A = this chain, B = another copy of it.
Amino acid sequence: MKEILREHIEEIIQLTDDEFAYVLSHFTLKNFKKHQIVVHQDDPVKYNFFILKGLMKSARIASDGKEHIVQFAMENWWITDLEAFHYGTNSKFTIDCLEDATTYTITLENKTKLCRELSKMEHFFHIKTTAGYIALQKRVLCLISSKAQDRYHNLLEQYPGLIRRLPKTMIASFLGVSRETLSRLDLN
């Protein structure tokens, strides 16, 4: 468990054993079961989640009852409602488990403390956020410039391992089309 987090962090910065032990002490290991809700829409967000094992999604239920999936996260990905987490507002999204999950969670207080006391960790989070920004920018471009079919292929190409674990209904929701439309596309 520890090793996974350590390797993940050390892809970006180097830590001594002591430093890593200190970093680790700011995280809490938490397990969740499939279908378990980790963040409730309209509730405050306590944690940022680093996924060791499992699969989650972050989605918003619109007023008409439809679910719009904003993010998936699997092994070695982070997930939370970053806005609510950072600004202490209520979550716009519900985050739940598509598979049983094991996570390291960190509170905002601990993240802030860690960044203040170990500037390498601020660098780490900065780089991670930058990568997330870049990924979102790509997604925006895809959404405004491509037809549903190309969006599907684009996703498949970028995250083939993820797609295999997802029901098509959810892929459709993530792509911003109805499940019927996705089903009618020629996916070859």
Contacts and interface: CB of A to CB of B under 8 A. Distances in A.
A77 to B, nearest CB: 14
A116 to B, nearest CB: 8
A140 B136 contact: yes
A56 interface: no
A71 B133 CA distance: 13
Interface in A4-42: none
A172 to B, nearest CB: 10
Contact of A129 (B133, B143, B144): B133
Contacts of A144: 68-70, 143, 173-176
Q: Chain A interface secondary structure, helix, strand, loop or mixed?
A: helix
A161 to B, nearest CB: 21
B83 A137 contact: yes
A126 B129 CA distance: 7
Contacts of A119: 119, 122
B140 A139 contact: yes
A139 B136 CA distance: 9
A160 interface: no
B82 A133 contact: yes
A48 to B, nearest CB: 11
Interface of A: 60, 62, 66, 68-71, 82-83, 86, 92, 115, 119, 122-123, 125-126, 129-130, 132-134, 136-141, 143-145, 173-176
Given A68-B145, A82-B130, 9 more contacts: A70-B144, A86-B130, A115-B123, A119-B119, A129-B129, A133-B133, A143-B144, A144-B175, A145-B176
